[in-house]
Structure 1
Amino acid sequence: MRTRYGRVKGEQTGAVRSFKGIPYAAPPVGADRFRAPRAPQPWTGVRNATVPGHPCVQDNPDFPAWLDPEPESEDCLHLNVWTPASCTGDAKARPVMLWIHGGAFGYGSAGAPTYDGARLAEVADVVVVSVNHRLNVFGYLWLGDAVPELAEHANPGQRDLVAALHWVRENIGAFGGDPGNVTAFGESGGGAKINALLAAPSARGLVHKAIVQSGSQLAVLTREQANEVTDATFAALGGGKFTESRLRKLSSEELKQAARTVESKLSMLAFQPVVDGCFIPDQTWTGHAPAGSRGIPMMIGTTSHETAVFLPGMTDQIDTDTELRQRFDTFGLAPTLSDDEFARLLAGYRRAMPSDTRLELLVAMTTDLWMWHSALIQAELKQSTPGPVYFYEFAWRTPCFGSSWAVHAGELPFVLGNLTYPTAWDGSDSDAARSADDPTGQRFVLADRMMHAWGAFARSGDPSTADLAWPAYNTRTRPTLVFDRGSASVVSDRNASRRHLIEGLPTVW
């Protein structure tokens, strides 16, 4: 296969051809550390494209399903392509789906086993691209005030994604993809990165549709907030005055350790995009949808129990309201509430969920306030711009934590069709447990339905299929497509009583 920069050789498995580890930009090392990405150097001969590129240097606390076996490196600007085997031999250009991995803005990799794009490419008849980019301190440290010569290079991790989109526009036709029909889709931090891309003028015209899965972040850092993170990072690196030259001399390990220190002190979300006035000129989804979302059809959704994977003791009962409040406060991604506010909120959830345990109430409250609230607001903001928006909830309960929860990232194996994968979530969600939990194989039916819906949306901007009528979201009836065991059905104003309880409360995402 010939790209603009040289020829690549992939491999074919069944009905899909894959090309992995293709450089879409020059290695961001040496003089290019913390700078905007440059075009890759052309190569001669044929480049082997059978192994994914390196993930960015990071601390990844996840379970094996989300871990990339390749060694980490600052030389991480590579992407992978999966295309139906017939795709390059016919005249029909397929929709392109660009996968952006999660892990907040600090960790993760396109090379994780669960993110393999072959099954989605085959079932949905699309070209799937996944991308690695700079993360944490390497991609999201604001240096524009402390090191002024780097101000024009702000948000390098997001600029990497724009560079990948440019690569897609220039090269994907050779792989059978349509450069004029690109859907960016991502989960958690991946969805948040898409939200920030839609606020970046340099990304306009490169993304034609967007899918935000459990990632409806409504605001990124201001310069003032980002400078606090910068100060903490410099302190972790020994303090004193930092210049670009000094930053270049630091080892990857020194920077990684500094990121670890800052995240433990401030937040796992300490490093993230910044409103720099140039690459991101204005706040992203605060009060209005960004101009870059105009004309872009969107899908937005969450899982039913987002926070179950983050709260400790998910198989332990909660004996008192005092303990419930303590666990609510230590979650970290719920808003700070006064005693009176919390008491009113808890009383309201008890009325809405009268038969639920305190643990179930805790999961519902934190899920709604962290992720669902932001997703609803984003869907409503999108209503003010051209381009429809579709809303979903993923309700399949995995075997983890006693098969009680539809957890954060639970939809990923279904959307990407990878239902055989290493241990995830609580360390006991195994292939054997999943098979025992679903002896009739309903998960394969649901995965097929979801892949066809995601593919239909990428093709036309409407996720409806022959056996799935999915109406666009509106604030009158609030239709939500609920994906659950053995079913996929539209529910109007799902959990309306809970929605009324959280309206007006601050968002944290």
Structure 2
Amino acid sequence: MLSGCATVQSATAPHQVRVSGGVVQGSVRDGVLSFKGIPFAAPPVGDLRWRPPQPVQEWSGVRQATAFGHDCMQIPFAADAAPLGTSPAEDCLTLNVWRAAEAPKDGKLPVMVWIYGGGFVNGGASPAVYDGSRFARQGVVLVSFNYRLGRLGFFAHPALTAEAGGAPTGNFGYMDQIAALEWVRDNIAAFGGDPNNITVFGESAGGGSVHTLLTSPKSRGLFHKAIIMSGGGRGPLLGGSRLSEDTPGGPRSAESIGVEFARSVGIQRTGPEALAALRALPAERLCDFNLMTLNVPTYSGPMLDGQLVVEWPDAAYRAGRWAQVPVMVGATRADIGFLSARTRDEAFALFPDKAAARATYDPDGKADVQTLVALIGMDRLMLEPARYTARAVASQGIPAWHYRFSYVADSMRDEWKTGAPHATEIPYVFDTVELKYEAKTTDRDRQVGRVANTYFANFARTGDPNGQGLPQWPRYEAATDVLLDFSASGEPVAQPDPWKARLDVTEAAVDAASRK
């Protein structure tokens, strides 16, 4: 990870800023000044593959920062809710900054740092729906960045552990996230941002990353508020391996998985010569799967490495071992879940109180099995963990704000009958609905985008999403269990959680399983 350095000062020429590495030239469009493709670390290629991010290489003259850098190496897939805007490459550690063009450079504006999702194997900062212009017009400095994915981002091997010599290894994608936050801390004042008012936010794997940042000892002090969108929070969102130890009855170690991958490509040894051979592999050979084919036995995903990730987030929240900053957390109404049950009996076998579960999920015994499995899986993976996080935060006297996103674009209502699917809230949060739905965008879609974007910007500004002209969003308290629903009608509605009974039986099941 990168070490801190003194805050750099902005250059004097219009639309130019001096950052770590040199001077960058941005561009103005519709009153927003943006800088794209700024390196925040050295390219992680060659001998730097599977190393912590190294200091950025300095450049001479003025670097044009008007186009996104490459998204990180991956195999894109056609159904991506946020299609990439660049071609993937291993040289990808760049970031992007948006701010209002007329904002003073010393304005100490609130800063938001976006972390994309994609199951830690897909995603990037270039998709159009992640454009930061609307946040910039709200008086926020918006930063997005790339982090390494798949085996290039999350990979362990005995030779790598030996080479690290006791330093963190394995979770290179998380190291990139921390390096990007260090860059923001050291450089954002040059863009008019306040390094003492930084909010991290992310969705799906990005939301899971926010959990990691909140609970990792390596990211302390790098941000001051956090927003978790469909990020789980009960145990690992993906994977769950330990770095070097097999888990009894659970996943193999990440090192064991790495050795198996090496053998699958003809690399039998486990010493430095094996590492040299692995680093010589074409990047394409390492990225042979995507989110649609993620169940790969030779990929570990994020892991417990003992230094950056020392425990799963729910345990850290419960013990008070986390950053203790204001938190906004929620999920979508028809979010994702992974449950392999094929019958009602298999689905209800997960609950210690099967009668209560049946009475809650299937009171008349007539629920469609596929729908039932989807609801139970969603509650276990996304909805109950979001509530758990809000409760844990609130119980320690820290402001927590719980939401559910139910709104469905008018053009998609015939297709998404059960509510807002996973990731569909993103264009509303960024107020980029027209970039997503184009000519099909309705006035109601636009209004929901304006409102959601304003709530999120307000939270970044003050730690409280409320503001003039917005329906009141009560701070979360377990006793009242009130959340804000971005409802199907388009109106934000604060109400006690209508799915409380479902989440209660799910909570009891998860807690019982954790005690075994």
> Aligned AA for 1:453?
Y
State the alpha-carbon separation in 1 of the partners of residues 394 and 343 from structure 2: 35
* 1:215–1:335 Cα change, 3 Å: farther
SS at match of 2:287: helix
State the alpha-carbon separation in 1 of the partners of residues 316 and 368 from structure 2: 35
Does residue 113 of the first structure (1) align with residue 128 of the second (2)? yes
Does residue 500 of the first structure (1) align with residue 515 of the second (2)? no
| Match in the other structure for 1:244 | 275
* 1:339–1:395 Cα change, 3 Å: closer
Q: Which of the residues 58, 62, 80 maps onto 2:96?
A: 80
Q: Give ranges in structure 1 of 5+ residues lacking alignment.
A: 312-323, 423-429
- Structure 2 matches for 1:397-412, cutoff 5 A? 397-398=408-409, 399=412, 402-404=415-417, 405-412=419-426
State the alpha-carbon separation in 1 of the partners of residues 59 and 149 from structure 2: 27
State the alpha-carbon separation in 2 of the partners of residues 357 and 336 from structure 1: 14
**Shift in Å at residue 168 of structure 1?**
0.5
Query: Deviations for 1:272-298, whole angstroms, at most 9, x for unmatched residues?
Result: 332222222333322634756343100
State the alpha-carbon separation in 1 of the partners of residues 378 and 317 from structure 2: 23
| Match in the other structure for 2:390 | 379
State the alpha-carbon separation in 2 of the partners of residues 22 and 299 from structure 1: 29
Does residue 127 of the first structure (1) align with residue 141 of the second (2)? yes
**Shift in Å at residue 469 of structure 1?**
1.7
| Match in the other structure for 2:460 | 458
State the alpha-carbon separation in 2 of the partners of residues 80 and 95 from structure 1: 16
* 1:289–1:191 Cα change, 3 Å: farther
**Shift in Å at residue 473 of structure 1?**
1.1
State the alpha-carbon separation in 2 of the partners of residues 397 and 73 from structure 1: 34
Query: Deviations for 1:202-253, whole angstroms, at most 9, x for unmatched residues?
Result: 2111111000000023334323342343244224323512432222111111
**Shift in Å at residue 504 of structure 1?**
2.0
Q: Which of the residues 46, 58, 77 maps onto 2:74?
A: 58
| Match in the other structure for 2:23 | 7
**Shift in Å at residue 414 of structure 1?**
0.3
- Structure 2 matches for 1:215-364, cutoff 5 A? 215-220=231-236, 221=240, 222-223=242-243, 224=246, 225=251, 226-242=254-270, 243-257=274-288, 263-266=294-297, 270-286=299-315, 288-289=317-318, 293-307=322-336, 326=342, 337=349, 345-351=357-363, 360-364=371-375
CA contact (8 A) 2:74 2:149 kept: yes
Q: Which of the residues 192, 197, 219 maps onto 1:176?
A: 192
* 1:137–1:181 Cα change, 3 Å: same
Q: Which moved more, 1:235-244 or 1:298-307?
A: 235-244
Q: Which moved more, 1:212-221 or 1:253-262?
A: 253-262
State the alpha-carbon separation in 1 of the partners of residues 399 and 231 from structure 2: 18
SS at match of 1:306: coil
**Shift in Å at residue 25 of structure 1?**
0.4
* 1:211–1:345 Cα change, 3 Å: same
Query: Deviations for 1:35-87, whole angstroms, at most 9, x for unmatched residues?
Result: 11111011111101011111111122253651213111111100000001122
Q: Which moved more, 1:76-85 or 1:335-344?
A: 335-344
Q: Which moved more, 1:286-295 or 1:37-46?
A: 286-295
Report how many aligned residue pairs link the two structures: 475
SS at match of 2:288: helix
Q: Percent identity of the aligned residues?
A: 32
CA contact (8 A) 2:215 2:316 kept: no
CA contact (8 A) 1:237 1:258 kept: no
SS at match of 1:133: coil
CA contact (8 A) 2:401 2:475 kept: yes
CA contact (8 A) 1:25 1:77 kept: yes
CA contact (8 A) 1:105 1:271 kept: no
| Match in the other structure for 2:481 | 478
CA contact (8 A) 1:294 1:387 kept: no
TM-score, normalising length from structure 2?
A: 0.84
CA contact (8 A) 2:348 2:357 kept: no
